[in-house]
Structure 1
Amino acid sequence: MSHHGVGLRAVMRSVAFLAAGALAVPLLAGCSSEDEAGRPLAGQDIAPAARDQVADGGTLRWAVDDIPETLNAYQADADAATGRVAQAVLPSMFRLDAQGRPQRDPDYLETAKVVETEPKQVVLYKLNQQAVWSDGREIGAADFVAQWRALSGKESAYWTARNAGYDRIEKIERGANDLEVKVTFGRRYADWRSLFSPLYPKAVMGTPDAFNDGARRKLKITAGPFAVKKVDRAEDEITLARNPRWWGRPAKLSEIDLKAVPRAKRAAALAAGKIDLADIDPDAASRISQAGSNGGPGSPSQGASPQLGPAAGRTAAKALRSWARAHGSDDDVADEELLARKKARKAVAKYERQQEALRGFEVRKSLEPAYTQLALNGSEGPLADERVRRAVARALDREALAQVVLKPLGLPAVPVGSHLALSGQAAYADNSGALGGQDTAEAQALLADAGWVPGAPVKDKKKGEKAAGSEGKKSQDESEGGSDGAYIVGEDNKGHDDHDHKGHDDGQDKKAHEGGEGGEGGARHLADGKQYGGEAHLKQGGAAGAAGAYAPKGTAAPAPAPGPLAKDGKPLTLRFVLPSGAGSESLRAVAERIGTMLERVGIRTDITKVPDSSYFKDHIASGQYDLALYSWPASAYPATDARPIYAKPVPAADGSLNVEQNYTRVGTDQVDQLFDRAAATLDDDESRSLIRKADSRIWASAGSIPLYQRPQLTAARKDLANAGSFGFQTPVYQDMGFLKNGTKPSTAPNGN
């Protein structure tokens, strides 16, 4: 499971932990009658074009992370690629619009509404009379019934990942005719629009065997603009072809090939003409943008960029040494140098050819419907105390953290103000005031109130243990790989090279000090230009230590820095766990900035980098961390989908504690009750108000701190229309295609 996005329908886990005490809630900001949701911070960027401008035919080759293990979206190992296939080939009663709000899909539904509320809630679906499965059978009540029974949770033989909402249904009946489906709920359910999206045929849902195994590797019966033509696991590819029985607007593309391409190899795959559309990382986006620039550094007319290409970091001094080695008297050394230079020339030539090919692509960017948060494990240790968690939160400048990631990309660097929705969605409101903004003095006061005292005595380590910082900090390169690596932010580290001190100046990482300019931890680490360290460190050989540089006579000696915060003989040090793999540079840059901010209030962070494969399973889900960064997707149905993320852990039958998806282990009865009330009301305004109140209380408990909406960067062929960075909106697959010859692509993102 990726640390970047945690599936809302993941299997619930039971984890034993030490429960924290009840959480106090300050005065909450009231919810006004005005719509506080606002607009999405960034519109979708898909090069919109009218259908008559799009050519008929063609194959879109679309990169995905992996070929899905299952094509059944309701199984635990379903992933993003499973969802992409389901969107293209299966009915969904409701899909999301550009503001992340559910809208009826007229290709399947003529109407859907609550027709009775007393004595029970009844929803009547009137289906599009043309809607049929690919085998010719009409979509109808039998399919709704089969899906309800499979997902209701009443039959354990079905290996389902979720039953939320379906467990509230009492019965499903045929209406006045075959096109009507009448759903009666035993308990009221506000998020009824979330159900039957996607809808599978009764052939898939009708029996446990069909559900568990029948739709994992193939999907014979579909009802969308495309159908599954082939699943080729040897070639890591799924082919979707036009559905000849599709009754809606015909698909422009003949086929969509979903090809598994690792993110690190996508720029090369784009340049080689193997894919047309791919989510990419910031480095690949920089290459494509630079390739498309006119005569700028790194464009084909100017040669490879010294900062992005194989010649990166080759300074004039290095070039001079290279020439001396090649033309010196040692023949072996000269031969080695000449061979190295020949390889370098080949690499540069290859890079230039790729840059030339990348000129046919552009970067389409928006913000994902997901946000990155700082998670605080409240199960034990210092963070079990709400005052310490609140102190951590009050030490953070969330706007500065958003700028680290988003400002270099030209995206709005606005902190996320809600745990339960994003700007533009109906339930969104900025409730961060329930906790308060950055305030160093308040953070220090909270820590003092919790008993953490500067300069308090610290007990010696047991014999055989190393004192913190006694061997200096490991470099980032040393700590990556199969075993965990750690270094301390806030240690004194006297006598060590200043490059390894993570608490100086502006919180720059080692890469930034050594002159690296392309990494996320370098230039991006300083994106907002603000200072977060204390006074600059004076070291021998610097201006302050040079001969003849003296302080004016009578200048008082600087006051000694306060000792580390400690309590009961233990220093206040939090273990900050991060993924070590490629693609996580922005998370590590944000983590180092957070470490510097926390140091200002006296909190040390022990940054531990672990392999990506173990990051979530062995650390986040199992509670082996104090601080961590990971992302949650936004949902149009927070009363249903967000409840397990913030539910108060409860004892399980085996004596452990069931945390569901609440990996911070922080929850309250009051939040649970607000979610329950929001899910049970059929008044949309009341439901939104209850969700916003729940969010305020989640803020107040400081178990997790939303930071920023994740960037969405997509490389697309310049002549590809209606595809790219979709933002909130469900893609409209039948409108995607390549522009007709002579048609100019749109340059303005849709919705901006």
Structure 2
Amino acid sequence: MSHDGVGRGAVLRSATFLTAGALAVTALAACSADEERESKPAAAQDIAPAARALITDGGTLRWAVDSVPETLNTFQTDADAATARIAGAVLPSMFRLDANGRPQRNPDFLESAKVVSTEPRQVVVYRLNQQAAWSDGRKIDASDFAAQWRALSGKDHAYWTARNAGYDRIEKVERGAGNLEVKVTFGKPYADWKSLFSPLYPKDVTGTPNSFNDGARKSLKVTAGPFAVQQVDRQGGQVTLTRSPRWWGRPAKLSEIVLVAVPRDQRARALADGKIDMAEVDPEEAQRITFATRGKGGSTPTQGSSQGTSRAPSEGPSQEPTAGGTGAGGGAAAQSAGQPALHGFVIRKSLEPAYTQLALNGSQGPLTDERVRRAVARALDRTELAGLVLKPLGLPFAPLGSHLALAGQPAYADDSGALGRQDTAQAQALLTEAGWVAGGPVTEQKKSAGSPGKKADGTKAEDGKADGTKESSGDGSGDDGTHTVREDDKAPGRQSTRHLSTQHQGEHPGAAAPGAYAPRGTAAPAGAASGVLAKDGKPLQLRFVLPSGPGSQPLRTVGDRIARMLEKVGIRTEITKVPDESFFRDHIASGDYDLALYSWPASAFPATDARPIYAKPVPGPDGSLSVEQNYTRVGTDQVDQLFDEAIATLDEDEERDLVRKADTRLWAIAGSIPLFQRPQLTVTRLNLANVGSFGFQTPLYEDIGFLKKGARGARPSVSPSS
């Protein structure tokens, strides 16, 4: 699981990174229906669009993935982005997303799909494309829909499913007026019914628990898409998809798509050596690749900036694809300033349908107080933080205004006014109101006996350090533009707190006991150190957990800047860097942090997908806290009710309004602070068309291919906003 962009299948479909909140009902930002319809993504997709007539017939596209997926079943807990990519190419989807992140009927499978009745039950009738058939020749029909419903309804626990949202509201699935009709009757109204049956698996997979649990993990023998799964080679690290001869839609242009497992820090070399044709890269890697391509026949990234589309290479024509996919740059491996030479490549840039947030753990310490959380939020200059990551890439860097939607989606509106803009004075006033006073006495904290420091793997760390490095945001004397770094031989102890799972490593200095507040306006004693906020003898210091992996530098840069912003209002932070593999498991999921940076993907169906992420935590039968996927552990009954109402209404305008009201409350309680939409950076060969950084849109795999010699793709039609 990636800490900076967790895939839905990696946690559960309904969970994949957001948070919670609430307060008194406030007026929503004014936004007319006409304005909402005109909403556009903050940046255009960059996929080198080209007409199919300009694309050669044949060729192999080698596409980098993080790893060969453990399962080909997207409804299992260990499904990942590669699982979803394979499913998109080989399985039916009733609806797919357009460039604005809105679900659109897929005509290859559906002639129509609509709600035909709402009383006494909601009934949806799907009319299937009469040509739609599985690769074994059997027609796609109601039996496939019914088998998938039974598998995902949650009623039969023999099915190892990651999610059942929506399917649990279905009462029955049956054949309609003819073989081409599927009639779905809901026991409870379900607004997001378009999210269902995408992908759709054949009843061969969903018909029995054994076939669902094990049969689709390693192979998919029966498919229905422009491609079919030919081979899953885990030892060789690749999955081969071949053009399906039974596909009734537009024939796939490519002969093969080979998904090749390449670690992110090795992708530039793999591209230069001709081992892959396309790869998503991290911002720091993209900048190195940009430098390597300048003056070497490559192209610098320009899409998403004011320059428009990527410029053509200064030398050398685009090479035609071969059976092996070799092209410009293959085997070159030349070095420029220590980087491999990348001839004939371009970085295609857009904004990913995901956003980075600052999470505030409201279950322990000072952040249990809503006033302190709001003070943290009011201390942040979110525009500056967005600019740190996006501005160097030439991408729009306006701060995100919603927890639940991104610009371009129907539910998007800037609801951050419920919290208020950056205001140092207001942040300081909130802290004073919460009892944290400048210059307050600080009692030296003693380390608890029997609680030595531990590493991320649970073993004892030398000198009590979690991973060898801790950073503190200064000495409380104000921000002079520096960030003091120190290595502590011993960390202060922490009060034992109850977590979703067992205690994990890492000391938590200065955690104030919940509910223990000094009287408002308590004066600082004479001689106390100025600038340090304290209460009950404890300093206001928060443990800020960040990942330490090579692809996490943007998060660490943002984290450092946040620490400086918080120091200005008197909040000290201790930055703890932990290995990527333990960041989520041992810290975010277990609640072993005060502040953290991680990302959630956006959803076309926020009423469904955000509900468990913002659900109010409740005590379980054993006394432990059940948080679902609400890892900030902040929630309210009001937010839960709004999501429940949004899921149950069949009026799209009402659903959108309810989602926006929920978002207003999420801002008000400050359980998490959305910062910016993540960059999406994809390195591709210059002669690849209809592929790159897709933004919201579901890829049309049948249209991807290599341009014919001399052909040029069209320029993007949507200019990014600034």
TM-score range, shorter chain: 0.7 to 0.9
Q: Is residue 2:660 matched to residue 1:692?
A: yes
Shift of 1:189: 0.2
What residue is the counterpart of 1:7 in the other structure? 7
Contact 2:22 2:665 in 1 (8 A): no
Partner of residue 444 from structure 1, selected from 414, 423, 428: 428
**What are the within-5 Å matches in structure 2 for residues 240-255 of structure 1?**
240-255=241-256
Deviates more, 1:37-46 or 1:698-707: 37-46
**Distance (whole Å) between structure 1 residues aligned to residue 483 and residue 296 of structure 2:** 32
Contact 2:299 2:345 in 1 (8 A): no
Amino acid at match of 2:583: Y
What residue is the counterpart of 1:587 in the other structure? 555
Contact 2:439 2:533 in 1 (8 A): yes
Partner of residue 353 from structure 2, selected from 356, 361, 369: 369
**Distance (whole Å) between structure 2 residues aligned to residue 482 and residue 230 of structure 1:** 42
**Distance (whole Å) between structure 1 residues aligned to residue 448 and residue 220 of structure 2:** 59
Amino acid at match of 1:582: P
Q: 1:647 to 1:351 in 2, by over 3 A?
A: same
What residue is the counterpart of 2:685 in the other structure? 717
What residue is the counterpart of 1:506 in the other structure? 481
What residue is the counterpart of 1:611 in the other structure? 579
**Distance (whole Å) between structure 2 residues aligned to residue 663 and residue 394 of structure 1:** 21
What residue is the counterpart of 1:148 in the other structure? 149
Shift of 1:742: 1.4
Shift of 1:259: 0.2
Q: 1:720 to 1:355 in 2, by over 3 A?
A: farther
What residue is the counterpart of 1:730 in the other structure? 698
Q: Is residue 2:147 matched to residue 1:163?
A: no
What residue is the counterpart of 1:182 in the other structure? 183
What residue is the counterpart of 2:327 in the other structure? none
Amino acid at match of 1:28: A
3-state SS, counterpart of residue 435 of structure 2: coil
3-state SS, counterpart of residue 715 of structure 1: strand
3-state SS, counterpart of residue 699 of structure 1: helix
**Distance (whole Å) between structure 2 residues aligned to residue 349 and residue 226 of structure 1:** 32
Contact 1:416 1:709 in 2 (8 A): yes
Partner of residue 399 from structure 1, selected from 351, 358, 383: 383
Shift of 1:507: 4.8
Q: 1:276 to 1:448 in 2, by over 3 A?
A: same
**Distance (whole Å) between structure 2 residues aligned to residue 27 and residue 711 of structure 1:** 32
Shift of 1:349: 8.7
Shift of 1:380: 1.1
**What are the within-5 Å matches in structure 2 for residues 546-561 of structure 1?**
none
**Distance (whole Å) between structure 2 residues aligned to residue 103 and residue 298 of structure 1:** 34
What residue is the counterpart of 1:460 in the other structure? 444
Q: Is residue 2:577 matched to residue 1:621?
A: no
Deviations 1:477-500 (A, max 9, x none): x9999825312103269xxxxxxx
Contact 2:12 2:163 in 1 (8 A): no
**Distance (whole Å) between structure 2 residues aligned to residue 577 and residue 399 of structure 1:** 22
Shift of 1:366: 0.2
Bigger Rg over Cα = 1
Deviations 1:42-73 (A, max 9, x none): 01101111000000000000000011000000
Contact 2:298 2:344 in 1 (8 A): no
Deviations 1:120-160 (A, max 9, x none): 10000000000000000000100000000000000000000
Contact 2:385 2:675 in 1 (8 A): yes
What residue is the counterpart of 1:409 in the other structure? 393
Contact 2:113 2:126 in 1 (8 A): yes
Deviates more, 1:689-698 or 1:25-34: 25-34
TM-score normalised by L of structure 1: 0.80
Contact 1:674 1:691 in 2 (8 A): yes
What residue is the counterpart of 1:105 in the other structure? 106
Amino acid at match of 1:368: E
**What are the within-5 Å matches in structure 2 for residues 51-62 of structure 1?**
51-62=52-63
**What are the within-5 Å matches in structure 2 for residues 321-360 of structure 1?**
350-352=334-336, 357-360=341-344
**What are the within-5 Å matches in structure 2 for residues 459-608 of structure 1?**
459-462=443-446, 483=467, 485-491=469-475, 504-507=479-482, 562-608=530-576
What residue is the counterpart of 1:27 in the other structure? 26
Contact 2:90 2:224 in 1 (8 A): yes
How many residues align? The count is 628
Shift of 1:91: 0.3
Shift of 1:647: 0.5
3-state SS, counterpart of residue 382 of structure 1: helix
Deviations 1:634-658 (A, max 9, x none): 0000000001110001122332121
Q: 1:85 to 1:463 in 2, by over 3 A?
A: closer
Deviations 1:379-421 (A, max 9, x none): 0100000000000000000000000000000000011100000
3-state SS, counterpart of residue 183 of structure 1: strand
Contact 2:541 2:571 in 1 (8 A): yes
What residue is the counterpart of 1:549 in the other structure? none
Shift of 1:464: 8.9
Q: 1:296 to 1:251 in 2, by over 3 A?
A: closer
Amino acid at match of 1:29: L
Amino acid at match of 1:200: Y
What residue is the counterpart of 1:280 in the other structure? 281
Shift of 1:561: 7.9
Contact 1:479 1:485 in 2 (8 A): no
Deviations 1:312-334 (A, max 9, x none): xxxxxxxxxxxxxxxxxxxxxxx
**Distance (whole Å) between structure 2 residues aligned to residue 564 and residue 482 of structure 1:** 25
Amino acid at match of 1:133: W
3-state SS, counterpart of residue 584 of structure 1: helix
Deviates more, 1:480-489 or 1:647-656: 480-489
Contact 1:646 1:662 in 2 (8 A): yes
What residue is the counterpart of 2:306 in the other structure? none
**What are the within-5 Å matches in structure 2 for residues 306-325 of structure 1?**
none
**Distance (whole Å) between structure 2 residues aligned to residue 592 and residue 396 of structure 1:** 12
Shift of 1:25: 2.8
Note the aligned Cα RMSD (angstroms).
2.6
What residue is the counterpart of 1:648 in the other structure? 616
What residue is the counterpart of 2:230 in the other structure? 229
3-state SS, counterpart of residue 617 of structure 1: helix
What residue is the counterpart of 1:87 in the other structure? 88
**Distance (whole Å) between structure 2 residues aligned to residue 26 and residue 183 of structure 1:** 36
Deviations 1:162-211 (A, max 9, x none): 00000000001101111000000000000000000000000000000000
3-state SS, counterpart of residue 446 of structure 1: helix
Q: Is residue 2:627 matched to residue 1:659?
A: yes
Identity of aligned pairs, percent?
A: 69
Q: 1:349 to 1:104 in 2, by over 3 A?
A: closer
What residue is the counterpart of 1:636 in the other structure? 604
**Distance (whole Å) between structure 1 residues aligned to residue 614 and residue 403 of structure 2:** 9
Q: 1:164 to 1:491 in 2, by over 3 A?
A: same
What residue is the counterpart of 1:382 in the other structure? 366
3-state SS, counterpart of residue 45 of structure 1: coil
3-state SS, counterpart of residue 371 of structure 2: helix
Q: Is residue 2:41 matched to residue 1:48?
A: no
| Unmatched segments (≥5 aa) in structure 2 | 14-19, 301-331, 450-461, 486-526
What residue is the counterpart of 1:419 in the other structure? 403
Shift of 1:508: 6.4
Contact 2:166 2:192 in 1 (8 A): yes
Shift of 1:33: 3.6
Q: 1:594 to 1:479 in 2, by over 3 A?
A: farther
What residue is the counterpart of 1:676 in the other structure? 644
Shift of 1:2: 1.3
Q: 1:353 to 1:738 in 2, by over 3 A?
A: farther
**Distance (whole Å) between structure 2 residues aligned to residue 635 and residue 298 of structure 1:** 32
3-state SS, counterpart of residue 644 of structure 1: helix
**Distance (whole Å) between structure 2 residues aligned to residue 264 and residue 566 of structure 1:** 43
- Which structure has more helix as a fraction of its residues? 1
Q: 1:277 to 1:690 in 2, by over 3 A?
A: same
Q: 1:744 to 1:664 in 2, by over 3 A?
A: same
Contact 1:379 1:666 in 2 (8 A): yes
What residue is the counterpart of 1:117 in the other structure? 118
Amino acid at match of 2:116: V
Shift of 1:714: 0.5
**Distance (whole Å) between structure 2 residues aligned to residue 484 and residue 44 of structure 1:** 41
Contact 2:474 2:484 in 1 (8 A): no
TM-score normalised by L of structure 2: 0.83
